[in-house]
Amino acid sequence: MKPNFTFNLLRQIARGFCTKPPQIKPKRMEGKTALIAGAATGIGEATARLFAAHGARVVVADVQEAAGERVAAELGNGAEFIRLDVRNEDEMAAAVDRAAAVAAGNVLDVFHYNAGILGAMGPINELRMEEFDHTMSVNLRGAVLGIKHAARVMKPANKGSIVFTGSVASVHGGLGPHCYSISKSAMVGLVRSTAVELRRFGIRVNMVSPDSVATSVLGRALEALEITADSSLGSAERYVESISLLRGHALGVFDVAHAVMFLACEESGYVSGQNLVVDCGNTVSKANDTAPWFTQTLGFIS
């Protein structure tokens, strides 16, 4: 007796489960070209170093020229530096065009938007709108300009991966200042909306949202809030270690960089429109008390 339809269907499903998993390359970014906006320090620098170690040709883009040139020089593998003020559309377009020009076939494989500032801190009733505008111009306007021009060069190639650096402040109140939280929450909408448009061109759009990670921006904020005695990276690292939710592991820049690389390469080939939270369950496990970000009258952190 011939197998019936149900049996055939179950057999096909079983075969699907038994197929060999895709082989993971030792160098997961081999042959790819990546443009990283905000790559001179912190998470962006770590991502640039990780991408390069995995074979990518990286274009380091940042407004910090000395630091950016140093990083590019240390990466090797044809890495370049280009000065980029993410608020300026002409500079963003030029950075994207340059990154595509150095690639084989004039194709930009990965665009990672990591530029950002903490911005205005203090109570909402004392917010100065020029500080709000500046925070939005870097964190959100720059992100929109980045995806606008990355999509421009990726669409003809029908492929590409775009990854934004977000924050746990995008999913939970009290984990960042008001303006910063607004910008990162809006970024979630940007990711979701553009992911729907760009999927028909083979382009994926995602974001990575880390908890507190030791960077120079966090260091300056901790000093301003009088949580640490100074703004050094060492003080920030000790603070992050003190609040770590995972025994024996403080969140570091390379933890975030590895999450970015996962979304940038083929291992996440069907993942798009997602906000990958890197916080050891912080945003799903507890309520947050009123935070000093907006209870103390402070200045502007950039």
In sign, the C-alpha dihedral spanning 63, 35, 184, 217 is: negative
Catalytic site includes residue 239: no
Q: Which residue has the tokens 């984990």?
A: 175
Q: Which of 113, 180, 239, 270 is catalytic?
A: 180
- H/E stretch holding 65 reads helix 65-75
Distance from the Cα of residue 85 to its chain's centroid: 17
Give me the numbers of helices (H) and strands (E) for the chain, helices first please.
11, 9
Chain Cα centroid distance, residue 14: 37
Residues 135 and 86 sit within 8 Å (Cβ to Cβ):
no
Work out the widest C-alpha separation in the chain, in whole angstroms. Answer: 81
Q: What is the DSSP letter of 246?
A: B
Q: Looking at residue 216, what DSSP letter applies?
A: H
Q: Which is it for the CA torsion 145, 150, 188, 164, positive or negative?
A: negative
DSSP assignments along 147-177, one per residue: HHHHHHHHGGGT-EEEEEE--GGGTSTTSS-
Q: Please give the positions annotated as active site.
A: 180
